[in-house]
């Protein structure tokens, strides 16, 4: 299944779906170090990301995959020009500042969260089978917001299943509660999704003790800064490097804006099971 990764950041969605290609993906290792073999079920066809630093990370870790910059200018023609004729899944961790309790709570009409409608426009043009959304927990816990969100999905012909996950559900030592929604094209998929049994996809502590290899890179970076004496231990500003030269700020910003890859891995395994049931 070909994936169009919108609002890509450093590629957390694509890494997670790629991990779903393996029977037993170890997030403490890089993809080329995996012991099991990929079935290549999910393949990222293109990214769309506006941040210059994040684009450099994507270009380094996902070599050869096209990277678009402006989601408002991205359409089927632009994809075709890059040789991309088919999109099955669109992922979108669209900006959450207008939904989050930490933001101005402008809702879907805010200048950032209105980009949600760009995802639906592109999904409609490409006839995507699935859309995977990630956002602030407010997306589904705020009844007013979720009502608008669900209404828009139905208007474009998509059913949905919503999830509220914590990083700790996957064995990580922090909460990071986030909303995830799988939107699926209706018709035969609706019947299967309505009866889908997610219990066989165990998630509790499935990844306990594992650390994402990319996260290890951040820890090493901070450790090196400490050795140089540029930051002091137990300083709440350690990672930000608030010493006049913020060496790590861009790197940490990207992790803060990213997601736990184990979650889209879990969702990808469910999608794979449903699609195989259809075929």
Torsions phi, psi for 197 (to 5 deg) = -105, 105
**CB of 23 within 8 A of CB of 36?**
yes
Consecutive H or E run containing 79 = helix 76-81
* All residues at 6 or more sequence positions from 205 whose CB lies less than 8 Å from its CB, including other chains: 170, 171
Catalytic member of 96, 219, 234, 265 = 96
Residues in the chain, overall count: 279
Tokens of 122: 């592109």
204-213 core/surface letters (b: 16 or more CB in 10 A; e: else): eeebeebebe
DSSP 33: G
Q: Are 32 and 279 in contact (CB under 8 A)?
A: no
Mark whether 234 is an active-site residue. no
Q: How far apart are CA 52 and CA 90, in angstroms?
A: 21
From 165, 197, 215, select the one nearest 10 (Cα to Cα): 215
Give the DSSP H or E segment for 181: strand 178-185
Cβ–Cβ < 8 Å for 118, 72: yes
Q: How far apart are CA 42 and CA 26, in angstroms?
A: 17
Active site residues: 96
């Amino acid at each position: 299944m070909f994936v169009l990764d919108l609002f890509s950041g450093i590629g957390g969605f694509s890494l997670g779906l790629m991990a779903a290609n393996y029977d037993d993906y170890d997030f403490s290792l890089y993809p080329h170090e995996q012991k099991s073999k990929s079935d290549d079920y999910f393949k990222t066809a293109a990214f769309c990301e506006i941040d210059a630093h994040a684009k450099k990370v994507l270009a380094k870790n996902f070599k050869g995959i096209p990277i678009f910059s402006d989601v408002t200018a991205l359409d089927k023609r632009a994809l075709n020009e890059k040789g991309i004729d088919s999109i099955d899944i669109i992922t979108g961790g669209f900006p959450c500042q207008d939904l989050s309790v930490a933001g101005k709570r402008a809702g879907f009409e805010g200048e950032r969260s209105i980009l949600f409608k760009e995802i639906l426009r592109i999904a409609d043009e490409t006839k995507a089978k699935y859309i995977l959304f990630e956002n602030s927990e407010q997306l589904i816990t705020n009844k007013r917001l979720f009502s608008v969100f669900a209404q828009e999905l139905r208007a474009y012909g998509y059913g949905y299943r919503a999830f509220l996950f914590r990083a700790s559900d996957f064995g990580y030592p922090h909460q990071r509660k986030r909303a995830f929604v799988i939107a699926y094209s209706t018709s035969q998929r609706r019947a299967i999704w309505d009866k889908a049994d997610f219990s066989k996809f165990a998630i509790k502590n499935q990844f306990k003790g594992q650390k994402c290899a990319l996260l290890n890179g951040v820890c090493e970076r901070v450790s090196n800064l400490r050795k140089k004496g540029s930051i002091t231990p137990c300083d709440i500003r350690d990672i930000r490097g608030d010493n006049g030269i913020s060496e790590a700020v861009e790197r940490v910003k990207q992790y803060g804006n990213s997601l736990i890859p184990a979650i889209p891995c879990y969702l990808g395994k469910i999608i794979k099971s449903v699609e195989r049931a259809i075929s």
